[in-house]
Amino acid sequence: MVDNFVKDICRETEEEENRNIKWKAKKQKLKFHEVKKQREVRLYVSSTFKDVTKEREELIKKTFQELNQECMDRRIFFSYVDLRWGISQEQNQHEKTIANCLQEIERCRPYFISLMGEKFGWSQREDKPDIVLNESFNYAIEHISDLKWLEECRYGVSVTQLEIQHAVLNDVIHSKEQSFFYLRDLPDTHQIDNEEYKVYLPESEWHKERQQSLKNLILSNKDLNSKKYKTTSEVCEFVKKDIIKCLEKDFPQGSELSELEERWQAHQAFADVRRHVYIGGDTYFQQIDDFMETSQNPIVILGESGCGKSSLLANWCFRLEQKEPDTFLFLHFIGSSPESCSSLKMLHRLYEELKASFGLEVEIPFSDATILQNLTKWLKLVGTRRKCVLVFDALNHLDSALGRGNTSTQVDLSWIPLLNSSKNVNILLSTLPGKVCKNIKDFGWPCIQIEPLTLKQKSEIIDIYFQKTYGKTLSSEQRELIVAIPQSDNPLFLRALLDEIRIQGDFSTLTTLTTTMHKYVIASCPRDLFCMILARLEKDFNDEFGDT
């Protein structure tokens, strides 16, 4: 069998020049992440603040969570911008409201939904000017060149209408497919109490006329997607169905993908989530680069749970793909799925990707013994053709046996030196402290220890997470509350906390938001925080469906 393999190598080497085109074609086919369309949906939610609170709460806590899962199944990153809160008092004082809203719409294009009730929203009449609103118009017009058209909308147009104008009406042809309008029918007085009914009513007769005119404009345009609704559950179902239709059109299910490509895509999706909101990796990136230039040994990333090892590897790999597009990169996140923890399945996947990317016509070994025996031979072959980088995250999650009747609870790492015996092949590993870490250190390979986040890094992460991803802003007091606690030195704790704040936040009750934050920051570790989040989720479920 070995002799046959050697003959295969010789044949492959002799035909190398003739196969260059085939390799490139197969490599391009496998690297299906290099598509022109970015796999991301960023949805802008527009409405007035006070009269659609229930709808927005239901969307955030239920509908958007369901859409997020739908997107994850399609390997799409989903986020939304909900400015019901998120423009801090500091920003209001600087009159950046209009600019912030319209700039967020640009970042979200083409996805936009509008919830329209009876209220018209923040606006002014020429005979009753609003000083702050005028300054907000001035700031947007003076600082953003594409917003000169705002001058014609200074009077008689609400900020909510400006959002609609900018997102859709200024260019209906190119905006209509992924934009949706939901107009609420005013509830009957006998359906709700008087105090709640007052919240739904327009601000004045003038506001009522302006809002009705805007609604008529939307309903009369047959190119626009508009629906009327009566209840919160009804509009949430509308939103869910409409956005899923967009997903089906813009990102159809990859039924044509092979099993290999599906597995490849799953690991890429795991990495993509960890590439958002990443800070502090430059020093680690340089350390990895330096080790790879000076040593052929595997490099080991060490750190506590939640310290950011997976994020570091995901972002370093993305950087490598940008710098060295011809390098073969194998990225495997152990623990990202049940089958990812199998040593045999992991190595078999490596063989499959090598065969597909390099156009090899050698049979993949299937028996436990030959899978290990042929690793070095395969890697020596491909290493003569181009640089290869193999990345294995979370070795501590790997199963204990390598299919050889091993009943020990100790993870088998015997395959790693086999990978390391080939020139032009670099290996990057990560693990938690423990037995695996000790065994790896016994090899004497270079290690990089992940340090806790600094105050500056935590502050930068908060800014990127809220402002760039979700279009929100915390007050200085709220930011300091998060940055000051030592638990937020752990990226997993910090990210979970920010997610919970985003879901719970309400622009109209920033004081209440701060109180909520105080409740969560007492959690001493990620485990305690997740217990609190699960308790909140259970309460939300019981509030909606009742105790079971």
pLDDT score of 462: 92
What span, in angstroms and rounded, lies between the C-alpha atoms of 123 and 144? 20
Q: What is the pLDDT of residue 10?
A: 47
CA dihedral 544, 501, 68, 75 (to 10 degrees): -160
Task: Output the CA–CA distances (angstroms, integers) from residue 16 to 31, 360, 366, in the order listed.
Answer: 21, 10, 25
Q: And the tokens for 189? A: 């007085």
Q: How far is CA 306 from CA 8, 51, 253, 302, 492, in A?
A: 45, 40, 32, 11, 5
Map tokens 């749970």 to a residue.
Answer: 305
pLDDT value of residue 24? 44
pLDDT in tens, the chain (548 residues): 444 544 554 455 445 444 443 444 344 444 444 433 467 899 999 998 888 988 998 998 899 999 999 988 887 889 898 865 444 444 454 578 899 899 999 989 999 999 999 999 999 999 999 998 999 999 999 999 899 999 999 999 999 999 999 999 999 999 999 999 999 998 777 777 777 888 889 999 999 999 999 999 999 999 999 999 999 999 999 999 999 999 999 988 664 567 888 788 789 888 888 887 888 889 999 999 999 999 889 999 999 999 999 999 999 999 999 999 999 999 999 988 888 999 889 999 999 999 999 999 889 988 877 888 898 899 999 999 999 999 999 999 988 655 444 444 567 788 888 887 778 999 999 999 888 888 888 888 999 999 999 999 999 999 888 877 776 778 888 889 999 999 999 999 999 999 888 877 654 555 667 777 888 889 999 999 999 999 988 887 777 666 54
Beta-carbon contacts of residue 495 (< 8 Å; ≥ 6 apart) = 277, 465
The pLDDT value given to residue 67: 96
Q: What angle do CA 187, 188, 189 make, to 5 degrees?
A: 115
Closest CA to 101 of 55, 48, 65, 176: 48
pLDDT value for 96 = 81
Q: What is the pLDDT of residue 191?
A: 72
Distance CA 477, CA 218 (A): 41
Burial of 449 (0-12, 13-18, 19+ CB in 10 A): exposed
How many CA atoms lie less than 13 Å away from 55 in the CB half-sphere?
Answer: 30
Q: Can you name the residues that pair with 471 across neighbouring β-strands?
A: none
User: What does the H/E/C string look like for 456-483?
Assistant: HHHHHHHHHHHHHHHCCCCCHHHHHHHH
Q: What's the pLDDT score for residue 286?
A: 96
CATH assignment of 40-250? 3.40.50
Region 259-449: CATH code: 3.40.50.300
> pTM for this one?
0.67
List the structure tokens of 35: 């598509």
pLDDT at 230: 93
Q: What is the 3-state secondary structure (H, E, C) of 226-284?
A: EEEECCHHHHHHHHHHHHHHHHHHHCCCCCCCCHHHHHHHHHHHHHHHCCCCCCCCHHH
- Measured from the Cβ of residue 144, the count of other Cβ atoms closer than 10 Å reads 15
**pLDDT at residue 492, as a whole number:** 94
Every domain of the chain and the residues it spans: 1-35, 40-250, 259-449, 455-545
Under 8 Å between Cβ of 271 and 333: yes
- 259-449 matches 40-250 in CATH topology: yes
Contacts of 336 (CB under 8 A, 6+ apart): 266, 267, 270
